[in-house]
Amino acid sequence: MTTTTEPLSPTARTTVGRGRQRLVTERTALHALLDDALIAHLAVVVPGAGHPLALPVAFGVDLEGPDDGGTLYVHGSVAARWLRGAEDATVCVTVTELDGLVAARSAFHHSMNYRSAVIIGTARIVDELAERTRALDLIVDHMIPGRSATLRPSTRKEIAATAVLAVPLREASMKARAGGAGDEPEDVAAGGWAGHIPLRRVAGVAVPDADAHGPTPAAVARRAHRLTAAAAAR
């Protein structure tokens, strides 16, 4: 089932119409973006109402997961309306990392540097207890790698209260932009300044809760350090 080398944009609905010069086709670039990103936006069509709804979600990734192209997991409360509406429906998961602001010589050519992936697929509610438990650990470890192994196991009650949505990674497209302005030749010839402001996300030192005991766990300290280091190296 899993296909990890197929190029991106494998279907009509994941074919990029505009801005093809920003198209990314390597599936490894999608995997790297998913690794960098901390949140995604999950868009569903609200049942009954028929309008779109996009919500920010934490996510986890299992490239060897049971869905076509690997699995992206999203979790939410079992009582959340949007999650119920997503079951067996086509959903869209969009992951965007903003890398810079592009100041061109004209308003028209102002732009942003970014990496963004759009994943479209049929959402599957994860019923099986073992897969749901594993998905929750993947979501925690996506946030803070190595964290789940240091925690007590989730209780049956906690797992019962959590709905997990699985989205196949196969139908994905990706675009990216980097660098400076793409100005008109006559604007460049007229002189003047153009360029970009690089943006990155940095982490502060972990802040312990008032009731915390002991030193900052190694996985947490490492995550804070690496988030900042990875952004600086990009």
Which positions from 39 through 98 interact with its own copies, judged by CB under 8 A? 39, 41-46, 49-56, 58, 76-77, 79-81, 90-92, 94, 96, 98
**Could you say whether residue 9 binds its own copies (CB under 8 A)?**
no
Look at the block and give the residue holding tokens 């790698």. 145
How many C-beta neighbours within 10 Å does residue 151 have?
11
Selected from 5, 88, 211, 233, the binder of its own copies by CB under 8 A is: 211
**Could you say whether residue 199 binds its own copies (CB under 8 A)?**
yes
**Could you say whether residue 38 binds its own copies (CB under 8 A)?**
yes
Pairwise CA distance, residues 208 & 69, whole Å: 39
Question: 126 near 139, Cβ under 8 Å?
Answer: no
DSSP string, 68-79: TT-EEEEEEETT
Q: Which of residues 151-170 bind its own copies (CB under 8 A)?
A: 151-152, 154-155, 158, 161-162
CA angle 162, 165, 176 (to 5 degrees): 130
Selected from 70, 147, 167, 172, the binder of its own copies by CB under 8 A is: 147
Q: Which of residues 114-143 bind its own copies (CB under 8 A)?
A: 114, 116, 118, 120, 136-137, 139-140, 143
Nearest approach, Cβ of 177 to its own copies (angstroms)?
Answer: 11
Nearer to its own copies, 70 or 86 (CB): 86
Question: 198 near 98, Cβ under 8 Å?
Answer: no
Nearest approach, Cβ of 169 to its own copies (angstroms)?
Answer: 16
Nearest approach, Cβ of 225 to its own copies (angstroms)?
Answer: 10
**Could you say whether residue 215 binds its own copies (CB under 8 A)?**
yes
Lay out the sheet containing 23-24: strands in order across: 23-24, 172-177, 111-122, 90-103, 39-45, 52-62, 71-77, 162-168, 124-125
**Of 54, 31, 27, 7, residue with least CA distance to 142:** 31
Nearer to its own copies, 4 or 228 (CB): 228
Look at the block and give the residue holding tokens 């999650």. 83
Q: Which stretch binds its own copies (CB under 8 A): 3-11, 21-29, 63-71, 215-223?
A: 215-223
**Could you say whether residue 177 binds its own copies (CB under 8 A)?**
no
